[in-house]
A and B are shown apart, each in its own frame.
Chain A
Amino acid sequence: MLEIKYIADLVIAADNAGKKISEIVWQWECEQSGVLAESIWEKMQARLETIKISAYTGKQQQGKTFNGLVGGDAYRMAQTDQLLGGTVTRAVTYALSVSEVNADMGKIVACPTAGSCGIVPGALLATAELLKSDNDVIIKGLFTAAGIGTVIAKNASVAGAIGGCQAECGSAAAMAAGAVVEMMGGTPRQVSQAVALTLKNLLGLVCDPVAGLVEVPCVKRNGFAAAHALVGAQMALAEIESVIPADEVIEAMNQIGLALPSSLKETSEAGLAKTSTALSITARILK
């Protein structure tokens, strides 16, 4: 039976079998769950449908979410691509959209968490549009992302309350970057490089949400992190290599998460949550 504990395990298993990381992860899920391969594929396909709906609604929806803090930014972002170009603009737009849907109590797929649910969808859907690829390519991307996320969850954490936002949005960006590399035809080694490069650059990111809500800075951060993932993917595709390998970066994230004070891990006791604007918002929303 396949053992996946490290990113290196994924790369070695894929290289040895002459397969893609997505295929290794799919096979691993079959083995460990005992569920038929086709059923697993269909379940992922259903998740993609939910992801797509949440990614496309924000472009039309301009209103504020029910707490009134965020909303309408996916729409604004979609109005312009004068600087970043189509693919990055779309990635940011979709990521904002999914996060806005989440903040407004709409249906989303946690990816790996609800707070970071826009990053993987944003990067993957924008890449698929660039490639004019069908659903199968995106579903494979989701398996690759899931494999990377599983490794991070095993060796560090994907919860803001435990590791800070690096664990949520950092992990999501790393998952997205690896998946995009594979979608673009990159090698398993390049996938692992994308994970290392992308995660490395979000290390130390704290979780300090205003009023304890998954809105500020979360929604816009999802947009940023989707673009970040694409930068990491392109670096890896360009054969840029991280000096520190992916598994060591993940371990570093784990150590940083442990060292972060709890005031910066989802308790809203420091950082942005304690700014004077945040405090007046908190007073207004929480009675």
Chain B
Amino acid sequence: MGVFDIIGPVMVGPSSSHTAGAARLGKMARVILGESPTEATITLYGSFARTYLGHGTDRALVGGLLGFAPDDLRIKDSLKIATEEGLTFSFVISEQAADHPNTAEFSLQGASGNRIGVTGRSIGGGQIVITKIDSFKVEITGDYNALITIHEDKPGIIAEVSRVLSQENINIAQMKVARQFRGAEAMMVLETDHSISKQTLDTVKNIYGIRSAIVILPL
């Protein structure tokens, strides 16, 4: 924690958890989709579900999906801007209890037809955690550079990815692997201290057994 966590963040009001955090969740979902979304269904849980209108949580989530940062004044008008930019969205208000009071679940379709499900929570002070991508449990904060891979669940692949990173002098801060069941597809999330170049990403993509890989910049 530093002085700019106390005198900051710079944000569009009214709430760091329900507005700034919501914008970051939307932005992160967009980055994970890897392109501009054209269709979004957003399910809200807990306190998000109860107070989203009054906090502008809906506008912040959609603003994030449009790529707006938490301090972007366009957030206030994001619902209108979304329609102009060809993003159709709908909100589902869930009565179900969530693991965390401020949870949002995105079901997204992108311009080139990509589909993805992203779930995340706003944990206070504008901080977020992405907890699920499709059916994979993950933990991504957006504070670090991250590499996400989907690969075959077999020996050697994880070692190969970390070898590529260490060759490039990229230090791994955190790593988490999740799989649906043994031998199926697995997802790995690596948070790193250094940024990952396009070239390194391509090398990772070419590793035998890697189905796809994306890089996420810190929010």
Knowing A110-B9, A159-B124, A211-B51, say if A43 contacts B16 (CB, 8 Å): no
Q: How far is the CB of A272 from chain B (nearest CB, A)?
A: 15
Residues of B within 8 A of A (CB): 1-17, 19-20, 47, 50-51, 53-56, 59, 71, 73, 75-76, 124-126
Q: Contacts A110-B126, A158-B6, A213-B55: A105 and B75 contacting too (C-beta < 8 A)?
A: yes
- Asked whether A286 lies within 8 Å of B76 as measured between CB atoms, the reply is no
Q: Are A146 and B7 in contact (CB under 8 A)?
A: yes
In-complex Cβ contact of B3 among A106, A108, A143, A214 (8 A): A143
Known: A32-B2, A107-B71, A114-B19. A285 touches B54 (CB 8 A): yes
Instruction: Flag A19-49 by CB within 8 Å of B: 1 or 0 each.
Output: 0000001000100110000001001100100
Instruction: Say yes or no: B51 contacts A29, CB within 8 Å.
Output: no
User: Is A29 a contact partner of B54 (Cβ separation < 8 A)?
Assistant: no
> In the complex, are the beta carbons of B11 and A108 less than 8 A apart?
yes
Q: Can you name the residue of chain A whose Cβ is closest to the Cβ of B126?
A: A110
Q: Are A213 and B6 in contact (CB under 8 A)?
A: no
**Bound form: Cα–Cα A142–B3 in Å:** 9
Contacts of A197 in B (CB 8 A): none
B17 partner residues in chain A, CB cutoff 8 A = 161
Q: Are B53 and A107 in contact (CB under 8 A)?
A: no
Further 14 A-B residue pairs, CB within 8 A, beyond A110-B16, A214-B15: A29-B2, A101-B13, A105-B19, A105-B56, A108-B13, A110-B9, A110-B10, A112-B6, A112-B7, A146-B4, A149-B7, A150-B1, A211-B51, A214-B13
Q: Is A153 in the interface zone, CB < 8 Å from B?
A: yes
- B15 A149 Cβ-Cβ under 8 A: no
The docked-state distance in angstroms from the alpha carbon of A208 to that of B121 is: 23
Q: Is A263 an interface residue (CB 8 A)?
A: no
Cβ A286 vs Cβ B54 within 8 A: yes
The residue in chain B whose Cβ has the minimal distance to the Cβ of A218 is: B14
The interface on chain A, measured as residues whose beta carbon lies within 8 A of the other chain's beta carbons, has a size of 49
Given A153-B1, A161-B124, A286-B51, A106-B6 contact (CB < 8 Å): no
Interface pair B8/A105, CB less than 8 Å apart: no
Contact across chains for B4 and A43 when beta carbons are under 8 A apart: yes
Minimum C-beta distance from B174 to chain A (A): 20
Against B, the Cβ 8 Å flags (1 = close, 0 = not) of A167-181 are 000000001000000
Question: A111 interface residue, CB < 8 Å from B?
Answer: yes
B92 to chain A, nearest CB (A): 14
**B173 CB to nearest A CB, Å:** 16
- Whether A106 pairs with B125 at a CB distance below 8 angstroms is no
B11 partner residues in chain A, CB cutoff 8 A: 107-110, 114
Query: Which B residues are in CB contact (< 8 Å) with A108?
Result: 10-13
Q: Give chain B nearest CB distance to A216 CB in angstroms.
A: 11
Contact check, B10 vs A107: say whether CB atoms are below 8 A apart.
Answer: yes
Cβ B125 vs Cβ A159 within 8 A:
yes
A20 CB, nearest partner CB in chain B, Å: 15
The docked-state distance in angstroms from the alpha carbon of A147 to that of B126 is: 20
- A214–B14 contact, CB under 8 A? yes
